[in-house]
Structure 1
């Protein structure tokens, strides 16, 4: 695939949208919702949502790390009480019910705070029975995309499409092998991948304010400012 760098996230989103629109599975999507992974995935997702004429939202997820080994995930959470657990890790880590609850309380507080910053009082778009098109600005380890796919299914998504402009070949292959994922669309999987940012000319940080503005604009464009028009 081409190793040409993207100008910025918007440029990457437009290129990704062009490829997505040509994929047979994506063309056949029924009632899709485009979900940007904050923060960098949101400007990419905005272009995809525009091209697919689909609503745009954020998908905020938090890993539940083992109490004594936080880098190892024993599960993950999303909004509206979504939770997926890795029972093998829980057993091997001898995690008590109280320990699990404490970690979840801490991570859920952070999750809710981020949702409030990004979306404000706007309600989430219901994923039940719909296709979740999860978009990020790139994939290195694939950990966030993996958790996001699990949480989207837990929230009722009927199918999941992962889309990103660039990704590490091994990580993209692992995501494509997940039973929860129906399709992965990645424009560039360069050999010797080192970082997502190397494939952008402008990879400055996306701010909370930028995410808020993108979501507000997308909602206004689709519904003329009417709250809750998408279920």
Structure 2
């Protein structure tokens, strides 16, 4: 299966599948989702903003996500995983508090504290650069749902098949260009998969608003 050249190319291809949206708000999950979302918003003539999400990591192994937190939403936990690790939501409270602080820092960095666009009654397209476990996307979708949109679409270039299927329960539609059986990591499906900084995100958002 062919890989994407980079996130921009992936976003251009994804935009071709999203042309039926009517005056949508495009919300990108930073950092990688912003680069995918820019060509989508441009193609649709849509308002673009970020929806900040943070992973809640297992304390001894922070890269292992036991949940996620999105701005405007409550923590969403993988309760089965927590149980297998002998944890409860309360026992990772310190991690949640730390991630809330980092989430607030990033909201300030990306939007200067400005609130999200009004989502009530509107079509919302949530964009990320790929789905592995789907924890952050699930938290994002639930936070968006709580704002009362008319329709919610999750759009990603690539995702693990079982994750894409599981997230169909969280959105009106999930659009994924590739759901490879051999999925191991998002980055393996891009020739270029650079780590992005806050400055990169701000530059992309600034260019998209010209």
TM-score normalised to structure 1 length: 0.76
What's the secondary structure of 2:176's corresponding residue? strand
Of residues 206-215 and 39-48 in structure 1, the stretch that sits farther from structure 2 once superposed is 206-215
The alpha-carbon deviation at position 200 of structure 1 amounts to 1.1
Q: 2:140 aligns with which of 144, 148, 151?
A: 148
Is 1:83 the counterpart of 2:81 in the alignment? no
List structure 1 segments (4+ residues) > 4 angstroms apart after TM superposition.
63-73, 88-96, 99-104
Q: Take 1:205 and 1:69, find their aligned partners in 2: how far apart are those partners? A: 21
Which stretches in structure 1 are left out of the alignment for 5+ residues?
22-26, 222-231
Tell me if the contact between 1:169 and 1:191 (Cα under 8 Å) persists in the aligned partners. Answer: yes
Which stretches in structure 2 are left out of the alignment for 5+ residues?
none
Aligned equivalent of 1:168: 160
Q: 1:17 aligns with which of 6, 15, 18?
A: 15
After superposition, the C-alpha distances for 1:97-151 in whole angstroms (9 at most, x for unaligned) are xx78755433221110111222235442122222220111111111221111111
Name the Cα RMSD after superposition: 2.8
Q: Take 2:183 and 2:58, find their aligned partners in 1: how far apart are those partners? A: 29
Aligned equivalent of 1:181: 171
The alpha-carbon deviation at position 12 of structure 1 amounts to 0.7
Closer, same or farther: CA 139–72 of 1 in aligned 2, 3 Å = closer
The number of aligned residues is 206
Q: Take 1:151 and 1:121, find their aligned partners in 2: how far apart are those partners? A: 17
Tell me if the contact between 2:122 and 2:151 (Cα under 8 Å) persists in the aligned partners. Answer: yes
Aligned equivalent of 1:24: none
Aligned equivalent of 1:53: 45
The alpha-carbon deviation at position 48 of structure 1 amounts to 0.7
Aligned ranges for residues 187-202 of structure 1 at < 5 Å? 187-202=177-192
Q: Take 1:141 and 1:85, find their aligned partners in 2: how far apart are those partners? A: 13
Closer, same or farther: CA 123–69 of 1 in aligned 2, 3 Å = same
After superposition, the C-alpha distances for 1:201-228 in whole angstroms (9 at most, x for unaligned) are 1111122111001112223x3xxxxxxx
Q: 1:36 aligns with which of 19, 23, 28?
A: 28
Closer, same or farther: CA 188–76 of 1 in aligned 2, 3 Å = closer
Aligned equivalent of 1:108: 100
The alpha-carbon deviation at position 157 of structure 1 amounts to 2.6
Closer, same or farther: CA 188–66 of 1 in aligned 2, 3 Å = closer
